[in-house]
Structure 1
């Protein structure tokens, strides 16, 4: 995706709290989109088991694999959505079309039919691909290239993402737990309804507020024809059944082979370009691809949040609170964004303190620390599942909360620097393409997360023994990868040729 601030003059905007006023419109547009996305995300696997397997634990494996494939395809679709905005209809129209398609998909998944449900998920994937990458690009277009407020603007926008992710599970989790006289599959439909309404709010907010942008993000003159929008809508209608076939017929394992082949082709093209530009650029591409591989591992286990951790919370965690009140399963999903909001300033200050003393870790070392932080979370689960199980085969409430906090610490060591790393190490002509590789590596990790969660649940559903076995494996793989990355960090630093 291009950044038009490099080639066009940024309009003069009214300022609100020291930033261009349209930033706050985009902030709230993204808030409501994330409300919709995270509102349905926590309920997805639980709904599949309740609605299509009559609450039989044997459905947990299918639900986990479907969840992983869904997240993987969301990331893959973002690559194509960025291309549509760049080359076909512009950013504003891409966001509007994407929001409308996403809302339609969220309402579709309420219907009590497995095939319609999967078509609904496919519709959400296609719509999110048009929406997600392009609203982030719009933020960058509000500032000049050398505007020192640019990074702070992205930080505020990132707060909007996490605010939506924080509030949504609290509200939708309350909805699912409030209506106790109906079957849970009906309660989950209320969650999807709330998410769909949230997406409509996002659409209307941007539709009304886009006039503030003063032309930024509008289609270029050669893209102005409304017929192009019709072509994109037709393309969405063709893409939805293709995504459905991948999810419903190919399955998570075949999808993994497809994503891996795509990643191999992308890596090969980046290497060819690196060799063409000389030894330094070749080495930097190699360093970037090595880190991509470790990124896959991080997200493979981080994204247990919506699959195996959900089944753990529902079936193996004692959620009884004071007065007999039961902590809603969905509320666990708010722990991570709350932790991020609270911990991010301290992590940022910590890096600054270390930098002043010339002790700040390099990019690969930060990634290694991120992997170890994720591994530490699984140590907590290993301890709880081996030492704290009561006579009802339940573990206490606090270990799962602590897991989300520790995983967030790991994320703060890894995720915020990933996009910046790509812009520094990728060949100049292929920065956008390399960014697609970053998203693709995350998507591969998400798909693997679903496959792994399916193994943890097995054919009969998650038990204390299967959870302990699976999460012990998670710890050793993450810890081993983190130690290896810390050991090879000096080599990767040399390949980066001075990039910090």
Structure 2
């Protein structure tokens, strides 16, 4: 874990404990809470806004909106590679997080301006800032615990609750502003969503600015790299990257997929080279980590329908009418977070309670894929057997899809963050965390491509949704079964990491 004085074995400070965990965990929890408020505040509205503002509400805008959404999410996570490297080698984790928060805030306010060019520049700016923020705050959570600390998975699961607490509140508040306060159900005021998200990002910045003293030496720059002029050079580099992200948002999604895949292969090569340098154990652990990264791509390809095809499903095919009161589309995004907030403490307790019987990391990932697949199985059933005369499926079906997916997410995502800090070569923890997010980003870009096929050329129909989600079920089920079968091999490569 280069980049901090805590990198050396035994150098982790003796933190005061709160609720059985290092006190700085809770400061990072709240910093991430407000950043996720900002991120999820805009997530539900992006595709709907693009169709409304730039395609006059036509169903023909659904496919391109899904592709832009997928590309945006992909680049948000791909930028984490650069941000992780900058934190590891240039300015440290704390400064990276502060600078990323400033840049993200600017981008969020930009996308509220009703112009397509400014909108895309704003998205590119958010991408550049998030790359500095997202991987590094997660890496710092891992640095609060010794590698052998049994509380590590539990700490990451609690941190994941912070992510989802922000994600739960954001769609409810911004959806209420958009549909009920500043707009109507028929004509939502999406720019208010983006302004509220920008304010949330500023709160994240302020929270970390005042709370970072709790971290002590954790996240400080490398010895000899304390010069603040490095921050200025990084800022100039980040601003110069905005036109690059703007260009990547504009190109064809398939071309972007090739670029992201090439980046992933380069990253794998760099991690493997470092693993070989550190010895056979580090090499094997790096290989195990990279195999799991591949299955992570598969999970997020289908999970991230939430911000694209599931939005259009909710808007057009789900019965949201409760006696004249219409359930806002954006509020479905909070179901996932509510389920995670409810179930996360149970799983955090369960992982600790099971002790040596705790499922291996590969098997937890396999469970994540299978639960994701079960959610698509429910949609297959609803779209084939529960469609009303009005062409709508019951409200509860999409609600439960989010709940089932959430269980799968808890089996995979927080465990993946913890796994990366355990298996990555010691000198490339931040970079490897960027690799975790790049694999997520590749899945997100594929999610936009998949969602565009579900909508077709003229917009989503019951038939197109059923065909697409059936395909998703079988792919996820197959991936989960394969991962279960090869889990013993992966576990052997992990050399005792659990």
Aligned-pair distance for 1:24? 3.5
Matched, 1:289 2:290: yes
After superposition, residues 386-405 of structure 1 pair within 5 angstroms as: 386-405=384-403
2:327 aligns to what? Answer: 327
Question: Using a 3 Å threshold, how does the CA distance of structure 1 residues 150 and 178 change in structure 2: closer, same or farther?
Answer: same
Residues of 2 paired with 1:215 and 1:430: CA distance?
Answer: 18
Alignment of 1:213-228 (within 5 A): 213-214=215-216, 216-220=218-222, 222-228=224-230
CA distance in 2, matches of 1:224, 1:231: 13
Q: Counterpart of 2:189 in 1: which secondary structure?
A: helix
Matched, 1:306 2:307: yes
Contact 1:103 1:197 survives alignment (8 Å): yes
Q: Which residues of 2 match residues 206-285 of structure 1 at below 5 A?
A: 206-214=208-216, 216-220=218-222, 222-248=224-250, 250-272=251-273, 283-285=284-286
CA–CA separation in structure 2 for the residues paired with 1:374 and 1:283: 28
Q: Find the aligned partners of 1:302 and 1:203 in 2 and give their Cα distance.
A: 29
Q: 1:185 Cα shift?
A: 6.4
Q: Deviations over 1:463-494 (max 9, x none)?
A: 11110010000011111222222233344444
Q: How far apart are residue 95 of structure 1 and its match?
A: 1.9
CA–CA distance in structure 2, aligned partners of residues 180 and 231 of structure 1? 41
Output the TM-score relative to the length of structure 2: 0.90
What is the CA distance between 1:459 and its match in structure 2? 1.0
Instruction: Give the whole-Å Cα distance in 2 for the aligned partners of 1:19 and 1:278.
Output: 32
Query: What's the CA shift string for 1:126-159, capped at 9, x where partnerless?
Result: 1111122223344455566777766655444332
Q: Secondary structure at the match of 2:391?
A: coil
Deviations 1:356-395 (A, max 9, x none): 6x4x433322222221111100010001111111121111
Counting matched residue pairs gives 496
3-state SS in 2 of match to 1:223: coil
List gaps (5 residues or longer) in structure 2. none
Distance 2:211 2:47 in 1: 35
Q: 1:277 to 1:216 in 2, by over 3 A?
A: closer
Which of 202, 205, 211 is the matching residue for 2:204? 202
Name the residue aligned to 1:474: 472
1:85-234 equivalences under 5 Å are 85-141=87-143, 153-179=155-181, 187-214=189-216, 216-220=218-222, 222-234=224-236
Aligned-residue offset at 1:270: 4.0
Query: 2:84·2:431 contact (CA, 8 Å) conserved in 1?
Result: no
The 8 Å contact of residues 177 and 193 in structure 2, kept in 1 or not, is answered as yes
Tell me the CA shift for residue 497 of structure 1.
Answer: 5.2
CA distance in 1, matches of 2:223, 2:267: 31
Aligned 8 A contact 2:168 2:337 in 1: yes
Contact 2:379/2:401 (<8 A) preserved: yes
Counterpart for residue 421 of structure 1: 419
Q: CA deviation at 1:283?
A: 4.9
SS in 2 for 1:331: helix
The 1:296–1:10 alpha-carbon spacing in structure 2 relative to 1, beyond 3 Å, is closer
1:280: Cα distance to partner?
A: 6.0
TM-superposed deviation, 1:418: 2.0
Match of 1:76 among 75, 78, 90: 78
Identify the residue that residue 380 of structure 1 maps to in structure 2: 378
Instruction: Tell me the CA shift for residue 302 of structure 1.
Output: 0.6
Q: Is the 8 A contact 1:102 1:123 kept in 2?
A: yes
1:31 offset after TM fit, Å?
Answer: 1.4
SS of the aligned residue for 2:359 comes to coil
Matches of 1:335 and 1:379, distance apart in 2? 18
**Is the 1:106–1:192 Cα contact (8 Å) retained in structure 2?**
yes
Choose 237-246 or 479-488, whichever is displaced more: 479-488
Residues 90 and 219 in structure 1, CA contact (< 8 A), matched pair in contact too: yes
Bigger mean CA deviation after superposition, 408-417 or 112-121:
408-417
Distance 1:86 1:280, change over 3 A: closer
Unmatched tracts of structure 1, length 5 or more = none
- Name whichever of 203-212 and 44-53 sits farther off: 203-212
Q: More displaced, 108-117 or 478-487? A: 478-487
The answer to whether the 8 A contact 2:99-2:129 is kept is yes
Higher mean displacement: 437-446 or 281-290? 281-290
> In the superposition, relative to structure 1, how do residues 492 and 139 fare at CA in structure 2: closer, same or farther (>3 Å)?
closer
Counterpart contact for 1:123–1:240, Cα < 8 Å: yes
Alpha-carbon shift at residue 355 of structure 1 (Å): 5.1
- More moved, 300-309 vs 80-89: 80-89
Hey, what does 2:408 align to over in structure 1? 410
CA distances 1:22-59 after superposition (whole Å, capped 9, x unpaired): 44433322211111111111111111111111111111
Assess if the C-alpha contact under 8 Å between 1:288 and 1:425 holds in 2: yes
Q: Which residue of 1 aligns with 2:369?
A: 371
Report Cα offsets for 1:52-103 as digits up to 9, x if no partner: 1111111111111111111111111112112222333333322222111111
Query: Structure 2: how far apart are the matches of 1:362 and 1:189?
Result: 44
For 2:462 and 2:379, the matched residues in 1 are separated by: 11
Task: Give the distance between the partners of 2:428 and 2:158, measured in 1 at CA.
Answer: 28
